[in-house]
């Protein structure tokens, strides 16, 4: 028996179509396209989430970015850079999320 996907764990049977779209389209197709490697896709995704103020999705994607080879320092620098393009409050929110993901939340 295979382990449930993150979407299945998060949504379960509440919205099977949303699980299928997430698993099959987003992660099964889009994330597998060869034009960008997974490391770059992770940086783009983290940037988009921060810019849009979508901190609920950020912990999972910061962890995915680390798993895909983005360093802690690169994530912190991305957030710092975005403070001037996406807004200070969004960057400050992202920093607190990143600290938790990095295990540095006191």
pLDDT tens track for 74-101 = 999 999 999 999 999 999 999 999 999 9
Residues of the chain with CATH 1.20.1290.10: 37-106
8-state DSSP, 101: H
pLDDT of residue 106: 52
C-alpha to C-alpha distances, 21 to 8, 11, 31, nearest whole angstrom: 11, 12, 13
pLDDT per residue over 51-66, tens digit each?
999 999 999 999 999 9
CATH of the domain spanning 37-106: 1.20.1290.10
């Amino acid at each position: 028996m295979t382990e449930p996907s993150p979407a299945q764990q998060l949504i379960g049977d509440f919205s099977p179509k949303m699980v299928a779209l997430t698993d099959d389209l987003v992660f099964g197709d889009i994330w597998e396209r060869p034009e960008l490697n997974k490391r770059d896709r992770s940086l783009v995704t983290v940037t988009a989430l921060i810019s849009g103020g979508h901190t609920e999705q950020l912990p999972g994607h910061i962890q995915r970015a680390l798993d895909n080879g983005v360093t802690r320092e690169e994530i912190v620098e991305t957030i710092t850079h975005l403070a001037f393009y996406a807004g200070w409050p969004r960057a400050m929110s992202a920093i607190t999320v990143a600290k938790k993901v990095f295990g540095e939340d006191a």
